[in-house]
Chain A
Amino acid sequence: MVSADTELAVAELAVTGLSVRFTIPGARVAAVSDVSFTVCPGECLALVGESGCGKSVLAAALLGFLPANAEVAGHAILSGGGTPPLDLLTAPDRVLARTVRGRRIGLVPQSPAAHLTPVRTARAQLEETVRAHHPALRRPREHAEAVAARAGLNPSDLDRYPHELSGGMAQRVATALALVGDPWLLIADEPTTGLDRALVDALVGELRRLVDDGHAVLLITHDLAAVGRVADRIAVMYAGRLAETGPTPAVLDTPLHPYTRGLLDSLPDRAFTPVPGLPPLLTDLPAGCAFTPRCARMVPACGQRPTLADHSGHLVACHRPC
């Protein structure tokens, strides 16, 4: 249900060499380092990794939501929509607010209940968003209900206040709000956290339906079970860098990076053994491969930082892949 077919033909988000650094008293945090990927309409890219690996910072960088102490390098070129390509990392906030957020990129937030205004009904918030995005519409109420239905809500659910919504319904309201402006790209930041399995399955089904409808979804998550059901491609992040990217079945069934293998082995329906140790501090990363202190396959070459190498469409940054 994305508006113009011509937009779909050329729409793309191309991220190259994205790095984000924060300066805090006495330290510099390397939150994201040299990350590159592309997302196109009709596909879901999942960005997975442990908490604190830089996934959410990356989403904030794309939407211009970084705090003032952040330094950003690289490019994130958003094309399509009949306008010249725009670098999200250098565009002024005014441009992002008026042409990008909600219109070309929608955000499905983590903890949707906290994202909604507690003192107004879901309907009031949805209709306000409809009026802001489509001021010419004569019947915002009907449009709001149509968008709500696409997100899997009943019109009667809309008359509730956020505290009367279950976690799953609040999640759908947040998804509906993200869909109002017809963005072709949705960034979903840990949308399944705190939901029970049935609700995760429903949300994953909804995201997949949006992808099959022609949207692109960048799914940021640590839920590997959900990823397996919705993503076309997976990018595994470790300590701010991409460790491995590839098609979903390849990454889940034949992981090449020891970290990816460790993460998959920690699932309760696999070995249920954790990756040993803790992730490194982003203020004090080792000079070579950041996974070395936790890796059983270490070789002397690991003192040098590995670059992503292509194994027929499946990329891995490791000197001794599995």
Chain B
Amino acid sequence: MLSATGLYAHGVVAGYDHRRPVIDAVDLAVAGGETVGLAGPSGSGKSTLARVLALLHRPYSGTLSIDGHLVTGYRHHAARALRTRIGVLFQQPRLSVDPRMTLRRAIAEPLRAARAPDVAARVRELAELVALTPDLLDRRPHEVSDGQLQRACLARALALSPGHLICDEMTTMLDASTTAALVAVIVDYQQRVGAGVLAISHDTVLLDRWADRVLHLAPTGRLDPATGRDRGERP
């Protein structure tokens, strides 16, 4: 299992209080090129699981491997080579962009941090990918809509060409047209680079349409074993 391309979690227990873990003994596999949906009611631990998989939250126990590499550090201790393999999109774009940065600067941030060459050209390319016009790139978050800001967040998440994308309730704040547009950008990216996508949402209509298979997290923080079978041929 460790040699395969993909994101693998085994027996993950995590939370904010040792006596009451939020997620319990979760096994999850997102192979390269695959889209896994994760559904569950508010408070079932979907976002906590997303944070663990994005190396933003250290689990109490369990193991996580990315493309065959065992994860040993989380947050600031995460190895850069692993951290940059994962792109994350959050529910609230307004809370995930520095309000002082223009969209152009926000999209460039991971490129600068990774000392990527030719940042300006790459930002233009990313902006085109998510259909952000140049005039929008020079605005700050308060001057654009939630939909436009989430487009910028997607561009930022794709900046370092991650092999894995975690979308945590990415569409909650968006209208139907923007949702369809961003999902289309992700599916297109996935087909080009063979990335694995974990799509977390409470909208099961959306997940049934988008994901190859859908897992359900129960209020106990355990995955419902009856779910997650392949849906077979897509409509």
Nearest CB to that of B171 among chain A residues? A268
Do A166 and B178 have beta carbons less than 8 Å apart?
Answer: no
Enumerate 29 A-B pairs (CB-CB under 8 Å) in ascending A order: A50-B145, A50-B147, A50-B178, A51-B178, A52-B147, A52-B148, A168-B42, A193-B172, A194-B91, A194-B173, A196-B41, A196-B202, A199-B42, A225-B205, A263-B175, A263-B177, A266-B177, A267-B176, A268-B179, A268-B180, A269-B209, A272-B183, A272-B209, A273-B180, A274-B178, A274-B181, A275-B177, A278-B133, A278-B148
Q: A167-B42, A196-B41 are in contact. Are A269 and B173 (CB under 8 A)?
A: no
Quick check: A272 and B180 within 8 Å, CB to CB?
yes
Structural contact, B202 and A52, CB atoms closer than 8 A = no
A265's nearest neighbour on chain B, judged by CB, is: B180
> Whole-angstrom distance from the CB of A188 to the nearest CB of chain B?
16
Residues of A within 8 Å of B202, CB to CB, are: 196-198
Residues of the B chain whose Cβ atoms lie less than 8 Å from the Cβ of A193 = 172-173
Contacts of A268 in B (CB 8 A): 176, 179-180, 203, 205-206, 208-210
Q: Is A277 an interface residue (CB 8 A)?
A: yes
* A51 x B146 contact (CB < 8 A): yes
Closest beta carbon of chain A to B95's beta carbon, Å: 12
Contact A50 B205 (CB under 8 A): no
**A225 — which chain B residues lie within 8 A by C-beta?**
205
Question: In the bound complex, how far is the Cα of B206 from the Cα of A50, in angstroms?
Answer: 18
Shortest Cβ gap from B104 to chain A (Å): 17
Q: Is A222 interfacial (CB-CB < 8 Å)?
A: yes
Question: Within B190-229, which residues are at the interface with A (CB < 8 Å)?
Answer: 202-206, 208-210
Chain A's closest residue to B146 (CB) is A51
- The docked-state distance in angstroms from the alpha carbon of A262 to that of B178 is 11
- Residues of chain B within 8 A (CB-CB) of A262 are 177
Q: Which of B177, B183, B202, B204 has the most CB of A within 10 A?
A: B177
Nearest chain A residue, comparing its CB with the CB of B206: A268
CB distance from A268 to the nearest CB of B (A): 4
With known contacts A166-B42, A196-B41, A222–B176 Cβ distance under 8 A: yes
- When distances are taken between beta carbons in the complex, the residues of chain A under 8 Å from B208 are 268
Bound-complex Cα distance A224 to B179 (A): 13
**Closest CB of chain A to B172's CB: distance in Å?**
6
User: CB-defined interface of A203-235 with B at 8 Å, one 1/0 digit per residue?
Assistant: 000000000000000000010110000000000
Measured CB to CB, the nearest residue on chain A to B42 is A196
Per-residue CB proximity of B25-47 to A under 8 Å, as 1/0? 00000000000000001110000
Q: Are B131 and A51 in contact, with the CB atoms below 8 A?
A: no
Q: Would you call A269 and B205 a contact (CB within 8 A)?
A: yes
* Chain B residue at smallest Cβ distance from A197: B202
Query: Do residues A274 and B41 form an inter-chain contact, with CB atoms below 8 A?
Result: no
Contact pattern, A 43-67, Cβ under 8 Å of B = 1, otherwise 0 = 0000001111000000000000000
CB-contact partner of A222 in B42, B175, B205, under 8 A:
B175
Residues of A within 8 A of B173 (CB): 193-194
Tell me the bound Cα distance from A251 to B1 in angstroms.
52
A51 touches B175 (CB 8 A): yes
Contact A274 B203 (CB under 8 A): no
Q: Is the interface of B mostly helix, strand, loop or mixed?
A: helix
Closest 4 CB pairs of A and B: A196-B202, A274-B181, A222-B175, A266-B180
The interface bits of chain A over 135-147 (1 if a CB of B lies within 8 angstroms of the residue's CB, else 0) are 0000000000000
CB neighbours (8 Å) of B120 from chain A are none
Q: CA A199 – CA B203 in complex, angstroms?
A: 11
Q: Contacting B175 at CB < 8 Å: which of A50, A197, A272, A281?
A: A50
By a CB distance below 8 angstroms, the chain A residues around B147 are: 50-52
Residues of B within 8 A of A167 (CB): 42
Identify which of B176, B183, B202 gathers the most chain A CB atoms within 10 Å of its CB.
B176
In the complex, A263→B179 CA distance in Å?
A: 11
Closest to A277 in B: B131
Residues of chain B from 134 to 185 with CB closer than 8 A to chain A in the complex: 135, 145-148, 172-181, 183-184
Tell whether, in the assembled complex, residue A52 and residue B145 are in contact, meaning their CB atoms are under 8 Å apart. Answer: yes
Q: In the assembled complex, how far is the CB of residue A227 from the closest CB belonging to chain B, in whole angstroms?
A: 11
Alpha-carbon separation in the docked complex, A50 to B148 (Å) = 11
Residue in A49, A196, A198, A268 whose Cβ sees the most chain B Cβ within 10 Å: A268
User: Which one, A196, A222, A278, contacts B131 given CB within 8 A?
Assistant: A278
Q: A27-45 interface mask toward B, CB cutoff 8 Å, 1 = contact, 0 = none?
A: 0000000000000000000
* A196-B210 Cα distance, complex, nearest whole Å: 18
Identify B176's interface contact among A166, A198, A199, A263, CB under 8 A: A263
CB distance from B225 to the nearest CB of A (A): 22
CA distance A225 to B171 in the complex (A): 14
Given contacts A51-B147, A199-B42, 12 further A-B contacts (CB under 8 A): A50-B145, A51-B174, A198-B41, A262-B177, A266-B176, A268-B179, A268-B203, A269-B205, A274-B177, A274-B178, A274-B180, A277-B131
